[in-house]
Amino acid sequence: MIDLFSGLDAWVLVSLLLALTFVLAFEFINGFHDTANAVATVIYTKAMPPHLAVFFSGVFNFLGVLLGGVGVAYAIVHLLPVELLINVNTGHGLAMVFSLLAAAITWNLGTWYFGIPASSSHTLIGSILGVGLANALINDIPLGDGVNWQKAIDIGMSLVASPLAGFAVAALLLIGLKWWRPLSKMHKTPEQRRKLDDKKHPPFWNRLVLVISAMAVSFVHGSNDGQKGIGLIMLVLIGIVPAQFVLDLNSTTYQIERTRDATLHLNQFYQRNEATLGEFLALGKAKEGDLPEQFSCNPQQTEPTINALLQSLKGVSDYRSLSPEQRVEVRRYLLCLDDTAKKVGKLPGLQAREKADLDKLRKDLTATTEYAPFWVILAVALALGLGTMVGWKRVVLTIGEKIGKSGMTYAQGMSAQITAACAIGLANIFSLPVSTTHVLSSGVAGTMVANKSGLQGGTVKTILLAWVLTLPASMGLAAGLFWLASKAIN
């Protein structure tokens, strides 16, 4: 790892270390900001002592990051338009990273201080969108091209749908439990359990389910939210020291060969579907090597881009044999071909089987660009895990007592946690970032309605207000900071 940063100018090294510190600070804050969502029910119901719940939640968050992959990480990265990702330079990269991180950290700390279960996911996504839009305004780029709007819509849908699903599924699960065991002790609150049964803890099986589901929420939270930190660090590394990180320098000869084969097969795919794609891709019209000096991602330049990539990878068995400039070029070609393939996959006229083939080719194309070094994953896992072990008290009371008009029963806690663990786990499978905060708090709200306990209007309004304001507030903060930073650089 140390070798990767050798030979850097002092100011670049300082900036890099500062940027990495910012990202890890964001993940640390994310840990204690969102910890209560994973442990609130298990602490409130007295299923586990607070110190044990928080410790094991930290451990499972850590494991979630280590084992979660990088699908969500690059879903976050690709919120930025491909043009910004391929043309980022050191100064621009610094401005981008510091602006979005400063905005995200500021909003996260503010909502945590006031005990509001706001979403770190919303905050980060809003900050990235703000930077993308500000970059478009500064460089006279159409706002429609300033952000990857299709990716933003997909993520927005997951952020909106997941809490609604959490509300409905948790409510239905509680109704099912009440129908199955209407007289069970699991329908008591901790206070009722203490007064009526003179017992401090939940019944054994209820306690076991509460503990297991809490740790499951911690694990999927780590694998989902931790990947956001991984994506941020990769943005930092690619923006500040591109020569070392635009491609996975540890790629094997086989992986590079796969990338080259995917490029050849992509060309064959386009030729095979020339009748459908010929006009969109200008097939047969561009001359070999006919790429503009100022490289940009244009579907009309697909053939020259494929030819240029194949020429760049000819005889290459180790990315380290390429010069820094060549590595940047290869990454640009790969990102552009992937971006065009994604657009092609949405065109009418292609058969379902052809679209499936195209998806497989895209995975092979990005195998050596969508990666994260192990030390990055480990650093984020440690930051999130350690952050989980502090700062949890402010939000636990909100989740346990202030959403509904009465305390939470054991059955409500189980229903909300099982729902949250399943919803976030599914989001991980489909590489979609979701909000642990909103899924769990909406699940609790759903169980309160199903239990006919009613909701506390003040708390619900505060949570909804934070939900509505987080995106525009973080967008505005990040955009303003990026504008100021860009002016300072220029």
What is the rounded average pLDDT for all residues in the chain? 83
3-state secondary structure of 198: coil
- pLDDT given for residue 4 in this prediction: 60
365/228 Cα distance (integer angstroms): 22
Residue 455, strand partner residues? 404
Burial bucket for residue 152 (CB in 10 Å: 0-12, 13-18, 19+): middle
pLDDT in tens, 234-283: 888 887 788 888 899 999 999 999 999 999 999 999 998 888 888 888 88
- pLDDT given for residue 204 in this prediction: 92
DSSP 81: -
Q: What angle do CA 267, 271, 277 make, to 5 degrees?
A: 105
pLDDT in tens, 410-461: 999 899 999 999 999 998 888 888 888 778 888 888 888 888 776 666 666 7
Give first-to-last CA distance, the chain, whole Å: 32
Q: What residues contact 290, with CB distance under 8 A and at least 6 apart? A: 301, 304
3-state secondary structure of 358: helix
- pLDDT given for residue 259 in this prediction: 94
- Tens of each residue's pLDDT in the chain, 490 residues: 666 666 677 777 888 888 889 889 888 887 776 666 777 788 878 888 888 888 898 899 899 999 988 888 888 888 877 766 776 565 666 787 788 888 988 888 887 777 666 677 788 888 888 988 888 888 777 777 777 777 788 877 887 888 889 999 999 999 999 999 888 889 888 888 888 888 888 999 999 999 999 999 999 988 888 888 898 888 888 877 888 888 999 999 999 999 999 999 999 999 988 888 888 888 877 655 566 565 667 888 888 899 999 999 999 999 999 998 899 899 989 999 998 998 898 888 788 888 889 999 999 999 899 999 999 999 999 998 888 777 556 555 555 445 545 678 899 989 999 999 999 999 888 888 888 877 888 888 888 888 877 666 666 677 677 677 888 889 999 999 988 888 877 6
In 3-state terms the chain splits into helix, strand, coil percentages (rounded to 5) of 75, 0, 25
- pLDDT given for residue 7 in this prediction: 67
- pLDDT given for residue 286 in this prediction: 62
- pLDDT given for residue 63 in this prediction: 93
- pLDDT given for residue 119 in this prediction: 73
169/423 Cα distance (integer angstroms): 10
pLDDT in tens, 145-167: 777 777 788 877 887 888 889 99
pLDDT above 90: percentage of residues in the chain:
28
436/223 Cα distance (integer angstroms): 11
In terms of Cα–Cα distance, which of 109, 43, 73, 59 is closest to 385?
59
Widest distance between CA atoms in the chain: 84
- pLDDT given for residue 371 in this prediction: 93
- pLDDT given for residue 125 in this prediction: 85
- pLDDT given for residue 200 in this prediction: 86
- pLDDT given for residue 14 in this prediction: 84
- pLDDT given for residue 155 in this prediction: 78
3-state secondary structure of 289: coil
In terms of Cα–Cα distance, which of 432, 406, 462 is closest to 191?
406
Say how many C-beta atoms besides its own lie within 10 A of residue 263's C-beta: 23
Burial bucket for residue 241 (CB in 10 Å: 0-12, 13-18, 19+): buried
3-state secondary structure of 49: coil
In terms of Cα–Cα distance, which of 46, 39, 27, 156 is closest to 104?
27
3-state secondary structure of 31: helix
Tell me how many helices (H) and strands (E) the chain has. 20, 0
Angle between helices 436-450 and 149-180 (to 10 degrees): 30
Q: Which residue has tokens 């007289």?
A: 183
5/244 Cα distance (integer angstroms): 8
Q: Which two tokens stand for residue 230?
A: 């991984």
